[in-house]
Amino acid sequence: MSITIGTRGSKLALAQTETVMKKLSALGISSEKQIITTQGDTSTEIPLHEIGGQGVFVRALDDAILAGEIDCAVHSMKDIPAYRPHGIFTAAVLKRDSPADYIAHTVPLGKVKVIGTSSTRRKAQLLRHDPDLIVKDLRGNVDTRIRKLNEGEYDAIILAEAGLTRLGIRIPGERFPPEKFVPSPNQGTIAVVSRADPSLMEMLSALDHPQTRNDVLIERAVMEQLGGGCYTPLGIYSRAGHLIAEVLSLDGTRTERIETDVKTIDEARVQGRLLKGRAQDLIDEAYKRLGITNGG
């Protein structure tokens, strides 16, 4: 049986898919890739929160799986929304790469004033660190972002360190410690999603890394309780069950944060509810200021 794997056409998405294909090949499983264009790829001049958030990168691939056009799809797991369509399952979670953010800069770090990012979380965390920074929207693939940095549109840009590593890109900059700049839930993790075919899911499950799966499920349990999606500045990070989660105001002036050890998904949900109770006004404010109806 040859598996048809759906992927976006960006260099990063293709690199991640090649990683999965090589792992399958090592297990004696043949596969081929099929590139599918998503709205997130074509609407690069529009802020993500205006076209549906990170989920726009996933929706077209979900539809292709449900239509039987592909068997599975490879995603950055942080792009996968909390709520999934019926019939779509996360068949494998690969061992996590670096969860950290990386600041690439063309001027000395102390002289950075204009930073590019399309993430409300990263913007809020940057402004918390230095309220005088000017944070401008930045969309496009990694190559486009680096080109805009080198052309002088920004003094610095924020990227996921894992993405740079997967693309083999070395660029001057520094890694942000994830304990301080808490990353997006599931950042640094590749997931393979598939339809509910037992033989297919069994094959793909050979790629699964149990410790990473447990950590990302803890993060997703907290995320589901918070219900803020990519609209609310929030960071959630679990490492071997040590959980750090925070919700920020859009301008970074206020933060609600928890740090604790959790052993089960139920415990993670309890912590998520506790944090939501303390941060509900920040979540509501973010939706209001972005002009989005909060269904959570």
Torsion of CA 126, 127, 133, 139, to 10 degrees: 60
Q: Tell which wins on pLDDT, 10 or 166.
A: 166
Query: Quick check: is 31 in a domain?
Result: yes
* Distance (Å, whole) CA 110 – CA 287: 33
Does 73 lie in the same domain as 20?
yes
CATH number at 259 reads 3.30.160.40
Query: Quick check: is 184 in a domain?
Result: no
Does 225 lie in the same domain as 120?
no
Please name the residues in contact with 52: beta carbons below 8 A apart, sequence gap of 6 or more.
Answer: 39, 59
- Active-site residue among 79, 97, 101, 215? 79
Does 281 lie in the same domain as 217?
yes
What's the rounded mean pLDDT across residues 95-113? Answer: 96
Confidence band (pLDDT; 50, 70, 90) for 46? very low
What's the rounded mean pLDDT across residues 16-40? Answer: 91
Position 231 scores a pLDDT of 73
List the alpha helices (DSSP H) in the chain: 11-26, 39-42, 56-66, 120-129, 142-150, 161-167, 198-205, 210-226, 265-290
User: In the chain, pLDDT over 70 holds for what percent of residues?
Assistant: 90
Position 292 scores a pLDDT of 63
For residue 231, the 8-state DSSP code is T
Quote the number of domains for the chain: 3
Does 218 lie in the same domain as 256?
yes
Does 24 lie in the same domain as 167?
no
Contact between 183 and 237 (Cβ < 8 Å): yes
For 192-249, what is each residue's pLDDT tens digit?
Answer: 999 989 999 999 999 999 999 999 999 999 999 998 555 789 999 999 999 999 999 9
Query: Quick check: is 112 in a domain?
Result: yes
**Phi, psi for residue 168 in degrees, rounded to 5:** 70, 30
Domain that holds residue 27: 1-94+189-208
Does 112 lie in the same domain as 133?
yes
Does 82 lie in the same domain as 8?
yes
Q: Of 149, 91, 77, nearest to 115 (Cα)?
A: 149
Active-site annotation holds for 79: yes
Query: Quick check: is 182 in a domain?
Result: no
Does 73 lie in the same domain as 129?
no
Does 108 lie in the same domain as 160?
yes
Contact between 184 and 119 (Cβ < 8 Å): yes
Does 90 lie in the same domain as 1?
yes
Does 158 lie in the same domain as 72?
no
What is the chain's mean pLDDT, rounded? 90
The pTM (predicted TM-score) of the whole model is 0.87
Q: Which of 5-9, 11-15, 41-45, 274-278 is least confident?
A: 41-45
Confidence band (pLDDT; 50, 70, 90) for 140? confident
CATH number at 30 reads 3.40.190.10
Contact between 269 and 225 (Cβ < 8 Å): yes
